[in-house]
Structure 1
Amino acid sequence: MKVLVPVKRVIDYNVKARVKPDQSGVDLANVKMSMNPFDEIAVEEAVRLVEGKEHHAAGTATEIVVVSIGPAQAQETIRTALAMGADRGVLIQSDSDLEPLAVAKVLQKVVEEEQPNLVLMGKQAIDGDNNAVGQMLAALLGWPQATFASKLVVAGDSAEVTREIDGGLQTLKVSLPAVVTTDLRLNTPRYASLPNIMKAKKKEIAMKAVADYGVDTAPRLKVLKVTEPPKRQAGVKVDNAADLVAKLRNEAGVL
Structure 2
Amino acid sequence: MKILVPVKRVIDYNVKVRVKADGSGVDLANVKMSMNPFDEIAMEEAIRLKEKGAADEVVAVSIGVKQSQETLRTALAMGADRAILITAADDVHQDIEPLAVAKLLKAVIDDEQPGLVLCGKQAIDNDMNATGQMLSALLGWSQAMYANKIDIEGDHAVVSREVDGGLQTIKVKMPAIVSADLRLNEPRYASLPNIMKAKKKPLDEKTPADYGVDVAPRLDIVKTTEPPERAAGEMVGSVDELVSKLKEKGVV
TM-score, normalising length: structure 1: 0.92
Query: Where does residue 79 of structure 1 map in the other structure?
Result: 73
Q: In the alignment, which of 124, 127, 139 is matched to residue 126 of structure 1? A: 124
1:90 partnered with 2:88: no
Counterparts of 2:198 and 2:64, CA distance in 1:
19
Q: In the alignment, which of 56, 60, 65 is matched to residue 54 of structure 2? A: 60
Query: Where does residue 56 of structure 1 map in the other structure?
Result: none
Counterparts of 1:124 and 1:100, CA distance in 2:
10
Which one-letter code corresponds to 1:66 in the other structure?
A: A
1:84-163 mapped onto 2 (5 Å cutoff): 84-95=78-89, 96-163=94-161
Question: 1:251 and 1:188, CA in 2 relative to 1: closer, same or farther beyond 3 A?
Answer: same
Which one-letter code corresponds to 1:64 in the other structure?
A: V
Counterparts of 2:144 and 2:232, CA distance in 1:
43
Counterparts of 1:249 and 1:72, CA distance in 2:
53
Measured after TM superposition, the shift of residue 243 of structure 1 is 8.8
Which one-letter code corresponds to 1:92 in the other structure?
A: I
Which one-letter code corresponds to 2:56 in the other structure?
A: T
Aligned length: 248
Query: Where does residue 241 of structure 1 map in the other structure?
Result: 238
Equivalent pair of 2:208/2:214 in contact (CA under 8 Å)? no
Unaligned runs of 5+ in 2: none
Which one-letter code corresponds to 2:168 in the other structure?
A: Q
Q: Residue 19 of structure 1: SS of its match in structure 2?
A: coil
Measured after TM superposition, the shift of residue 94 of structure 1 is 2.0
Counterparts of 1:242 and 1:140, CA distance in 2:
55
Residue by residue over 1:180-208, the C-alpha shift from the partner in whole angstroms, topping out at 9 and shown as x without a partner, is 00101111101111111111111111011
Measured after TM superposition, the shift of residue 249 of structure 1 is 3.9
Residue by residue over 1:113-165, the C-alpha shift from the partner in whole angstroms, topping out at 9 and shown as x without a partner, is 11101000001001110100000001101111110001100121111111222
Query: Where does residue 4 of structure 1 map in the other structure?
Result: 4
Measured after TM superposition, the shift of residue 170 of structure 1 is 1.5
Measured after TM superposition, the shift of residue 219 of structure 1 is 1.9
Q: In the alignment, which of 192, 213, 224 is matched to residue 194 of structure 1? A: 192
Counterparts of 1:219 and 1:150, CA distance in 2:
33
Measured after TM superposition, the shift of residue 74 of structure 1 is 0.7
Counterparts of 2:114 and 2:24, CA distance in 1:
38
Measured after TM superposition, the shift of residue 248 of structure 1 is 2.5
Q: Residue 183 of structure 2: SS of its match in structure 1?
A: coil
Identical-residue share of aligned pairs (%): 67
Measured after TM superposition, the shift of residue 3 of structure 1 is 0.3
Counterparts of 2:247 and 2:169, CA distance in 1:
46
**Structure 1 consecutive aligned stretches of length 4 or more whose deviation exceeds 6 Å:** none
1:223 partnered with 2:217: no
Bigger Cα displacement from structure 2, 245-254 vs 41-50: 245-254
Counterparts of 1:156 and 1:242, CA distance in 2:
59
Bigger Cα displacement from structure 2, 89-98 vs 4-13: 89-98
Question: 1:237 and 1:158, CA in 2 relative to 1: closer, same or farther beyond 3 A?
Answer: closer
